[in-house]
Amino acid sequence: MPPSIINIVPGVSIGDFRLSMSSGELLDLIKRLNLDFEISPLGSGLIIRSDDYCFWIEGEKITQISISNNQNAKIAGICGIGDTLKTWEREMNAKFIYDNYIIASSEIEGLGLDIEEEPEDINTIEELDKFDEGNLKVETVYIFPIKEENYT
């Protein structure tokens, strides 16, 4: 039986973990799922890390969730960790750009990607110019709340 897909919903959830959960609900779920975790201070908040997940918490709010190392994490069941940036762009019909340490898309709010490092065997400017970043694989997927515009 194939492992079940962990559904990624930008701006909402990764699997059973939702941005709308309180930190208490989050810790209860982590314990219920028997995940090993560690809690560390981060600025005025906390970061909770397990093998595959990371949760950023400010006050009682989860401000960001990420998943790494899990090939079963998919957005819309289509693409996820281990797929290339080109695959993401094609399947999600979106252009991703480097934006403040993550790869983001203006077409998909509440989603960020981290890709593998460029290969170490690039030694010249010519090789770098020929290198296609779209062939790099996604290593981590981040979700964060979708910003609400204030139109008043």
For the chain, the structural domain boundaries read 6-143
Between 48 and 61, the higher pLDDT residue:
48
DSSP 71-82: TTEEETTTEETT
- Which H/E stretch holds residue 90? helix 85-92
Distance from C-alpha of 8 to C-alpha of 112, rounded to nearest angstrom: 11
User: In 10-80, where do the E strands start and end?
Assistant: 13-14, 17-18, 38-42, 45-49, 53-58, 61-68, 73-75, 79-80
Output the pLDDT for position 150: 44
**pLDDT, averaged across the chain:** 85
> What is the reported pLDDT for 16?
94
Q: b/e per residue, 94-105, with b = 16+ CB within 10 A?
A: eebeeeeebbbb
Residue 87 structure tokens: 């695959």
In sequence order, which residues have a C-beta less than 8 Å from that of residue 56 and are 6 or more positions away?
42, 45, 46, 47, 62, 63, 64, 65
**In Å, how far from its chain's centre is CA 5?**
15
Single pTM value for the model: 0.84
What percent of the chain has a predicted confidence (pLDDT) above 70?
86
How is domain 6-143 classified at the CATH fold level? protein yfey like fold (2.60.460)
Tokens of 103: 């790869």
Residue 120 has pLDDT above 80, yes or no: no
Cβ within 8 Å of residue 61, ≥6 positions away: 22, 23
